[in-house]
Amino acid sequence: MTERRATRHVIVMGVSGCGKSTVGEGVADALGWPFAEADDFHPPENVAAMRSGRPLTDDDRWPWLAELASWLADREAEGRSSVMSCSALRRAHRDVLRTGAPEVLFVHLDGPAEVIAGRVAARTGHFMPPSLLDSQVATLEPLAADEEGVVLDLRAEPGELAQQAVAWLLRA
């Protein structure tokens, strides 16, 4: 068994509307770790593109992902574990995030597209329009067998999902 590192960094991932921010905050609160919402790191150009209904390309995402990896690296340098909510849709995106710290783990909130679509349609005040959900679902690459992570059914209540994630982290 590999010895657990002193610091660990958890990315709660999934498509828009899956509950990653709420669950991520719950995990961070339960563990007393700092939390970052990846959407807060988007440059204005990315927000404007999404608000207008244009899906982001990888060229749009690379600088944003590098900024997120830098945030993880800063927490690592402080000797602090952390939690972040981030779509992390593709393996290549997750690979960039992993450059920020030696131990980055993923909690993928997954479930039926119609459940997610209902959530996205019902929320207000978010720059991501429901019209972009299909592009995110099409882009999503599930965790590969060699990526350390867990998949949780997003139909559970956010508090239950946070508890499941914490329980998994304590075993991982």
Distances, alpha carbon 28 to alpha carbons 65, 84, 170, in Å: 20, 9, 13
- Number of other CB atoms surrounding residue 109 within 10 Å: 26
* pLDDT tens string 111-149: 888 787 776 666 565 555 556 667 778 888 999 999 999
The one-character DSSP state at 143 is P
23-78 tens-digit pLDDT: 999 999 999 999 999 999 999 999 888 888 888 899 999 999 999 999 999 999 99
Q: Judging by DSSP bridges, how do beta strands 82-85 and 35-37 pair with one another?
A: parallel
Q: What is the pTM of this model?
A: 0.88
For 9-171, CATH gives 3.40.50.300
